Structure 1
Amino acid sequence: MNNSVKVTVPATTANMGPGFDCLGMALKLYNQVEISPTDGGLAIEIQGEGAGDIRKDEGNIVFKAVERLFQEAGRPCPGLVIKLTNHIPAARGLGSSASAIVGGLVAANRLAGDPFTPEKLLALATELEGHPDNVAPALLGGIIISVVQEGKVHWLKITPPDGLSTVVAVPDFKLSTRAAREVLPKTVSLQDAVFNLSRSALLVGALCGKRLDLLQVAGEDLLHQPYRSQLVPGMTEVISNARRAGALNVTLSGAGPAVIALTDGPNPQVAQVMENSFAAAGVKCLVKVLEPTVAGAEII
């Protein structure tokens, strides 16, 4: 067994508007997972985002991922020292839990001698997370379309168009995925379903065809954002104002509360408008300009 493994995992933004639970993109903001086997016991050290809140016992999500991989490999989980260095804000819609799961699985797979393929790791990550929209780009990089059928994840990777950049406004409050899902309706109208189907198809086509001019129409959504707007003060104004400031598309990032704008190159004006719009709603936020990345989780 290897002595120590260190893995970097990118942040992710899921849904990208209409692609609910099936579309995600990796971003150049990283968490680092370092795992070392010991003679016994579990020790977890955390630096950075969430250091005071994340569990340091067997309920830690990275440990759960490591434990699951060794279980799948039919081997006992060794004692571990887990060191986490987090730059991805927790519970903000940027895939912090996905990065933890993927980091734990990739590191454990290397510790165990690489018994599993990326496809198997994706299946395990999806099992642990519940859906692949964040874990797929966290593991594989790029923009990933993913579909789960009978327990198998079918996926397709798209290279982000040249020049595509993002501005992410991260509010200073957390929003759990569970809470964000509880406000969604159990059924939707045929009209709303067709609205999202057409936008999702156009969005994928626009990304593949490098048609940035289509992203604003293609990024519209009626399945989740209208319902989640009640949980994010100022969200509607942030989206509309950022679009007027020149953003190609503006959506809730994952379950939120972060809002992400797609831009043609860095756009300071969009960043300022998003910050000001949240401030007008009484919400402090941190604004980050993040580039997409084609690289997923990497062992360093």
Structure 2
Amino acid sequence: MPTFVINVPATSANIGPGFDVMGLSLSLYLTVTAEVSDAANAVTIAYEGANSDGLSCDPKSNLITSTTLYVLQCNGINVLPSCSLRINNRIPLGRGLGSSGAAVVAGVLLANALGSLNLSRQRMLDYCLMIEHHPDNVAAALVGGFVASYLIDVDRSGNIPASEAPPSATLDEQRERELRALAADASLTLPPENIGHFVQLECSSAIRAVAVIPQFELATSKARAALPSTYETRDVVFNLQRLAVLTTALGRKCPDPWLIFRAMEDRVHQPYRMHLVPGLPEILASFNPDNTPGLLGICLSGAGPTILALAVSDFDAIAAKLQAVLARHDVDSKYQVLDIVSEGASCESQS
């Protein structure tokens, strides 16, 4: 019987001014090994590694397998094929590194493999967006690299869930209800085609990501609740100007530190979320390329609390300096220096 090995990269969304638009895929992975068996209706789940606390091993409530079942049912397969899943999740949970998006992507790839569905990447993205609702993380996880994306108008499609339900690594009650409702009537919930659109942008090979990870979780629902319902035109224009520059500046062979640093400034989400990460206001106000060698720019990773620094050198020194500020605010943290990976999620078959 075949064995499938699925790898999905962590992602960082927003990247400063690109709120709900930009994503980077990073060299930190969720790995799912699925051993298909001929036992009758037997699906087992076992987690390995440190980032597994609170994750369900029940196939009915695990986000990966619930996603898999939804995709299969949309394609006429009503039960999960018997298999044994070993899941090694190296992506910290609830830290703004795309852990739930990675789980959804893994579930779609697993369905594609178990059901021999032969889905295109674009079609996989459609299924991901029926569950995750935001394209920035899942698009970057699927295709890799530096990605810009958008979602078609929900009101025009009529079929896309418009929920702002917070992503979570396990199924919260609202997410569970949504997935079960989707799976209950696959004929009505088959995703429209081309829900989301994306482009892969150039990103200099000299750039690496320093992820400083506070040792507390920040619920996406809490981070979104901190945002205003309306914005000043000048603040929207501020972000649009910088986003237009950033999409090109990161792709230059020799990145310009000050050009990128200023282009990563934001007035749409970070000012309203800074109080959720003690020390972040000081970091954003005091760090720059002149006083921090190698630094290109700093931002919240996704909704936080991880702080992402893009840099071309002195990676460990930058991390230590960021950690020192957090420590002064009584925030324990860890860090990882990560590559921006050009390859997205993969599924390999082993016989």
TM (norm. structure 2) is: 0.81
Mapped to 2, the partners of 1:200 and 1:23 lie a distance apart of: 9
In the TM superposition, what is the alpha-carbon distance from 1:37 to its structure 2 partner? 4.0
Check whether the contact 2:202–2:248 (CA below 8 A) recurs between aligned residues: no
Mapped to 1, the partners of 2:102 and 2:336 lie a distance apart of: 18
Matches within 5 A, 1:132-281: 132-150=135-153, 152-210=195-253, 212-213=255-256, 214-243=259-288, 244-246=291-293, 247-281=295-329
In the TM superposition, what is the alpha-carbon distance from 1:81 to its structure 2 partner? 2.6
Which deviations, in whole Å up to 9, do the C-alpha atoms of 1:239-263 show, x marking residues without a partner?
3444331321000000100000000
Aligned to 1:82: 85
Check whether the contact 1:203–1:219 (CA below 8 A) recurs between aligned residues: yes
Check whether the contact 2:203–2:252 (CA below 8 A) recurs between aligned residues: no
> Taking structure 1 as reference, are residues 236 and 282 closer, same or farther at Cα in structure 2, changes over 3 Å only?
same
Matches within 5 A, 1:40-189: 40-57=41-58, 58-78=60-80, 79-150=82-153, 152-189=195-232
> Taking structure 1 as reference, are residues 46 and 241 closer, same or farther at Cα in structure 2, changes over 3 Å only?
farther
Which runs of 5 or more residues in structure 1 are unaligned? none
- SS of 1:221's equivalent in the other structure is coil
Which deviations, in whole Å up to 9, do the C-alpha atoms of 1:189-211 show, x marking residues without a partner?
11111111111111112124446
Which letter does structure 2 place at the counterpart of 1:70? L
Mapped to 2, the partners of 1:88 and 1:211 lie a distance apart of: 30
Mapped to 2, the partners of 1:4 and 1:237 lie a distance apart of: 49
Mapped to 1, the partners of 2:93 and 2:216 lie a distance apart of: 10
Mapped to 2, the partners of 1:218 and 1:299 lie a distance apart of: 36
**Aligned residues, how many?**
299
Instruction: Name which of structure 1's ranges 92-101 and 113-122 shifts more when overlaid on structure 2.
Output: 113-122
Mapped to 1, the partners of 2:62 and 2:50 lie a distance apart of: 15
- SS of 2:73's equivalent in the other structure is helix
Check whether the contact 1:166–1:289 (CA below 8 A) recurs between aligned residues: yes
Which letter does structure 1 place at the counterpart of 2:62? N
Check whether the contact 1:242–1:270 (CA below 8 A) recurs between aligned residues: no
TM (norm. structure 1) is: 0.95
Which letter does structure 2 place at the counterpart of 1:285? S
Mapped to 2, the partners of 1:266 and 1:120 lie a distance apart of: 40
Mapped to 1, the partners of 2:286 and 2:12 lie a distance apart of: 20
Q: Percent identity?
A: 34
Aligned to 1:25: 24
Instruction: Name which of structure 1's ranges 184-193 and 201-210 shifts more when overlaid on structure 2.
Output: 201-210
Which letter does structure 2 place at the counterpart of 1:65? T
Aligned to 2:7: 8
Check whether the contact 1:159–1:294 (CA below 8 A) recurs between aligned residues: no
Which deviations, in whole Å up to 9, do the C-alpha atoms of 1:75-131 show, x marking residues without a partner?
123244322101110010011111111111112201211331110101111221110
Check whether the contact 1:31–1:84 (CA below 8 A) recurs between aligned residues: yes
Which runs of 5 or more residues in structure 2 are unaligned? 158-194
